[in-house]
Each structure stands twice: as C-alpha cells, then as structure tokens.
Structure 1
C-alpha cells in the first residue's frame, strides 16, 4: 500500500513538472522538464508521464495560440478601425468627420469587454464666427487647424478626436468617472487658451477660449444618441452660463431688436458677442458698463428727458466702451501710468466703437454718445476737442456717469474714492471737465437714491 502511495506521489510530482512547463508558456517560454527516477534509462511509467505531459502541453499551447491569434486579429481590426477614417477625413483639419465619430462611438458602447466608461467631450471654439468676420475666413481656417493640432497632441492613448461641427471638435475617451472626463476637457481647454496662436495678434488678449460639454456612459445614457444629446445640452448650458454674465446688458438691446431689419439683427448678435468679448477680457469693464448705464439713466430722468431719449441714452451707456475690443489687454490692466504712445492707442476706442455700430441704421442716434463721451466741457478732451454745448447732450451725460464710476471703483493703479470724495471731485470739475448742469442733476439724483445716497 505504501509503495502504491509513493508511486502516485511520484506520478503527481512528474505531472506537476510537465504542467509547470505549460504554465511557463503563458510567459512566453516553451519547454518541458521531466525528471527521470531511474538514473540510467526511461522506464515505461516515465514514458507514459512524458507522453501525458506532452499532450497537455500541446493542447494548452494550441489553446493559447488560438487566443493569441484572436487577440492579434482584434488588435488589427481595432487599429484598422482607428485609421479607416483617413479616406473620409475632413480635408481642412485631417480629422475624421462626424459620421465616423458616431459609428466609432456606437462600436465602443457595444464593446462588452470594455470595463471602463466611455466619455464624449465636445469643444466649441468661442466667438469663432466673430473671429471669421474680423480676421477673414482664411485665418479662421488656420485657427481651426491649429486648435485641432493642439487637441490631437494632448490626447491620451486610446482617445480619439474628430471634427464634430463647423467650430466644434468631438472627443471619445475611456475614463473611470465623470470627474476624470471633465478634468480632461478642462486640461484641453487650458492648453488651447495658453497656446500663442500666431493669427491672433489683432484680437484682444491674443487668446482663444473654448466651451466644453461632457457626457459619460452609462451615467448619461447607454446609446450614442443619448450620450451625444447630453453632451450637446451640457455644451449649450456652458455657453448660456457665459452669456448670463452679460445678460444684464442685453434687455435694452432686445427692445431695440423689435424695430430692426432682418439684416441688422445679425449685426446686433455681433454687437452682443463683442460686448461679451470686452467684458471677458477685462473684469473692470464687465461691471463698469452696467454701473454707467444706471448712472446715465438716473441723470436722464432727473433732467426730465422724454422716454425715447432716455432709451437712446441707455443704448449709449451700453455701448460706450465697445471700441475697447481693439485695445490690447495689457493696457486695460496696466498698473502703472500709461505712456504717451499707449494713451494715444487707448484714446482711439470712442472712434472705433462708433465705427462698429455705424452700419446699424437704428443705432445711429447712439453714435454721438459713443464717439464723444471723452470730450471735456473746456474743449480739452478727445477725439475732436469739442467745447461746451458743442458736445452732444447724451455725451455730456455719459462723461459724468463714466467718470463717477471710474472714481468709485478700485483700479490696478489706485484705490477707489468714496461716494462723497467722488462727488466733491465732480463739483470741483464742473465747468471745466463737466457740464455744470449735468453735475448738479447727478448729485441731486444720488442724494435721492437709496443705494448711492451721499453720506
């Protein structure tokens, strides 16, 4: 009985040696070790063991070979799938087109072996229509190519990008969470913003920004339609949130739109975009416009002007700094005193603003306020050096409202004055810089206003 148990143990040990060889095959090794117990020759038992080991080895090797062939075939198919868009790529960017993107997304979602989530990230170039109008379509094409290349260079292994729309790029990315997908979208947006595109010298700030919409499967849907719909809605929400920052300015424009021709409504859209661009590049301008609007309306009502004229003054306040869109960002935010050359450049913004709105017939009544809000009552202002009543009434109102807000707001080069200090400065400059009648009307309005009452 003991002899039988020892033989079984030897058999198990020998079989283990053979199986060990098969296990080693998984790591790429292909050999068998069989230990002989006779020391001189192979006996029948050992030959049987060797035969069994060889059979096990061959069967396992065959199974592994079939699996390896299957994996390589799948890899080749995936590699081919990842490049089969070349014949159908977008000729401008070299990226696959929208149709391929959708097909590839459906394939990824249908892959049962994929244990990770699938994210769709949409990047929309902000103000791309404005860029085309300002710089020309050739430069717009160049910008789109450059942005596409920045995105392509910053993708991870396994991510793919396509041209999703006229000014949109779409990315399919494996991820473990929505937060990871959002982080990727934010990183790509930051890379684009930090890239010094050569075609942006004439635009304020010299940067291009993108809005990002993200959706992740299965969190936001398991089909391509659900996922893309959610990503597009997320993108729209982001863009609306950006516009909401400037929504306080747009109700006045919406009233004006009612009387516009169809051709002029497109231009109003451009004006809105320009306002957003100015406000986005300079946080001071963002709040400054709404405060000047409020002060100008206070003055107009205190003077007892008719409602139609008050509305025009509101438009003027809304648009008075529109020309700053062409003033370099570094000058708007400079902490020190401007040089004479720099100040000459800043002084061009009233003329530029007037030129921007000149094509809109219904806005022509606003031009005097935009063009002359930096004139002085003593004739020492700009751009035309008008004096006294030569300066249009709306511009004289704008000058007081604009200067008061500038004095009561912190700036990089000086702290804000108190309301009382600013009022004293208005009194001191009445008759030189400002129309005295406008100054007295504004001071009276401030004393009556609960928010701005002089203390």
Structure 2
C-alpha cells in the first residue's frame, strides 16, 4: 500500500485535496522567502518541485492518469519557472498562472466531472469547487508575486554584480593610481636628489651647498652663533689630469671627498662646488675651530698617498684651504664664499698644501691693492699741495704695508715677529757702519723686517716642529725666500725690497739657495741680512735649539766668514756689537 493510499484512507478525499492545496501554498511561500533572500536557484527549485509533486499527488488521489493532463500541467509550470521575472513582465506571469489553474479547473469539473462526482459527495464537490477557486487565485497571486520578486532579485543581483564589477574597476584604478603616484613620488625624489647631488662624488652639488649655506647663515643670524666655511681644492689638479688622465683625476676627487667626509660632525655639510673645488659648511664653529678642522682635512689628504689601478706608484695629493667666518669676515653668504676663495688662492700662491684665513688674504691682497690705488690718487693730489711730495706718500704707504705684513707675521708666530725686528735693527746698524746712504739704510731695514715673510706660507706644524726635519721638510722650508718675493710683488711699493728678501740665504761661496749666487753677485742688502739673521738665530732660544752666548755666536760667524758669509759684513757686525 502506497503512502498516498494510506493518507486517502485516513482522510476524506475533500480534506486531502484541501491539505494538498494548503501545502502547495506553503511551498510557494517558502520559495518566495528564499527568493527574497537572493537564493533564486533554490527558490525556483522549491517552486518547481512543489508544483510537480502536488500535481502528481492530486492526479493520483483523483485517479487521473491522462497524459495530456500531465503534459499540460508540467509545461506551464516549466514555462513559468523559465520565464519568471526574466523575459516576461509580471502581468504575463499572472495571466499564465490564472490560465493554467483555470484549465485545470475546467479539466476537473468538465472533462472529469463524472469521475470525480462518483468519488465525493455533492456537498464536498461544492466545497471543493469553492476551495479550488480560492486556491486558483491564491496560487496565481503567489506565482505573480514570485515572478515580481524574482525579477527584482535578479535586477538587484545584476545591479550588485555590476556594482561589484564597477567597484573592482574602481579598486583597480585606485590601485593603479596609487602605484603611479608612488612611482611618480619616487621619480620626483630621485630627480630632486640628482638635482642636488654631484654625480661623481655623491656629495651635495653647487646648488645644494648654496641652499644650505643660506639656511645656516639664517640660523646663525637668528641665534647670534658663529658660522664658518672652508673652500678648498686639489693642488696641481690640471697636471694630474694631463699626466694620468681624467679617470685618475675623477678618482682623486672622489678620494678627497671621502677623506674630508671622515671628520664631519653632525650638522656639517661637505659639497663639491665645481671642478676640483669643495666647500665645507661648519655651523657653530668660530675661526679657530674652523682652522683646526681645515688643518685636519689638509693633513688627512696629504699624509696618505693615493693609490690608483691606472698608476703604478701612489700619488701625493694635497689641497689648499681657505677659511672664512661669520660675522668676522662677512655677513653675507656669497661674500663669505668669495673671502674663503681668495684665502684659498692665497694659500696656493704661498706654496700650496696649507690653510689660510680670509683676514690674511685681505691683508695681503685687498689692502695692498687699495693702498696702491690710494697712493696713485694722493700722488696726483700732492702736486696741488705744497710741501707734500710723491716720495713722502710712497714712504707712508710703504710703512703701512710693512706694518700690515708684520702684523700678519706676528699673528702667525710671535717669536718670528720678534726675530724680524731684531734682524732689522742689526741690519740697519751694519748698513750705517758700512757708510751707506740713508735711503739705502732705510730700505735695508725694511727688507730685514720682511726677510722671513715667506714663512707665513709654511705650515705651522713644520715651523714649530722640535724634531729633526726630513729632507722633504727642509726642501719646503727653503722655499720661503721665493714665497716672500711673491708676496712682495703684490705691492709696487715693495718691489725694490724683493732682491734682499729673495737672496738672503745665498752663500758667499755660491752654495746657497735659491739661485746659488756667489760673492758680489749677491745683493749687499741680502748679505747684510744673512749675517744679522744668523747672529740673532744663534743668540735666541727656539724649540729645536738652545741660545748661544754673543761671543760664541760671533766666533761661529768668524769661522764661516769667507764661505757662508761676506767677510766684510761679519767684521762690521763685530765692530757694531763691540761699540
């Protein structure tokens, strides 16, 4: 016995048909609920399965097995599900549902009326007809509503899918935009860094140094703090390029930048200013501190030869350094650079591989040139003033220049200044004892004051060294007469003093320097200064030697008379000291 037969036997046919219609309505409601939740496939499956199952149960209950009826029942259901809310509007679905149910109603009451009438009583048939009518309209309404909700759900799903697709496109576009922005920012940063970085050394370039210079000067002005800068470049760099090639020259610049960078403090800025020139900005550093830093840079470059793959032997590379300080030397950045640049070129003129301060360059160049211009102007005006001769103006300016140079010498080494004054006094006394004219005596005294002016171009470490000098150091020290002559060439007032300064280390026997002159070929002023200097050097204390007694010094001069010194000048000094 089948389950349907059990149910039919348990209930009346009328009650069972009502139960089937109610179950169908519940299944439709369940399908409708799933449909509204967005589960369109599941809702359609429930709807189709309930229609099919309940139709089969109804047919079986009523003993209806007409194939035409089954085909008609399944076709509208399948069509309804296939087109629900997708291809057809809801009102067509409503008409299809009504048509389907009306045909079913017609089939049951007209075609199969007699068969059904034998199964149920007239009152049950009337009630069944009423219930079927209600079921038809309810099923049609539910089917129509199912179609409407299906269409809305599909539209919503389609909209959600399109929205998701659009959102994905927007996300991809935003990601691409972010990537492009990151790449653009990185490219901008790279370009900006390249615009402010020297490609050879990796140091800040000219533009970056100028920007940082103004920042540091603004900070120094705002807080009243000192600020210094160093301007330095490689000595004889053109010779290096011409001899060894530009590849070696580039490596020299890289190593100079690397070595100078070893001593940087936090906040210092080292940059390549152009060519072989470098600039070091030193915030919070006064002139003395800046000079100490400059000496360290000079030493760290000069003391360690540079090796290159292209060159068999190491190269001894040196730098000349100029130092300028705010506010002593200038208040403006460009002027500070110019002052340091002039000091650096002064260091080169005075022998290279040394440090020079801006104030020294001013004393030895700007002031001398200014004095020359003023002398020319006053000489012109002197012709209009009674009692003032060009010779007097020349003498006044010569004295001023010598005073400036002596101040420079004493600033460098106070003992050296005292030695110069003593040699000048002795030279003047010797010249007087030799019966020279007063003008000659005056010029010899001036030349004696400046006989060691070239030593301002010699590094302090060498001048103050207490140990025995090496051959290289002795060679460097022997350059001071030529350096002194170069300094005096800066002023036309001092040109007549150059021979005495240039040759005061020549020897009577011709074995001196720099030109190995002998006897009368040596200027008389130079011979006088040589004797006076030797005597004062022997009776004065130095870090590297103790002083001698005057008599012992005179004995040494007499011993060297005729070989190192002019015998006449030695005898004259002995007479002067005896008196």
**TM-score normalised according to structure 2 size:** 0.39
Superposition TM-score, scaled by structure 1 size: 0.47
Ranked by relative contact order (alpha carbons within 8 Å, sequence separation 6 or more), the top structure is 1
Give 1 or 2: higher helix fraction.
Answer: 2
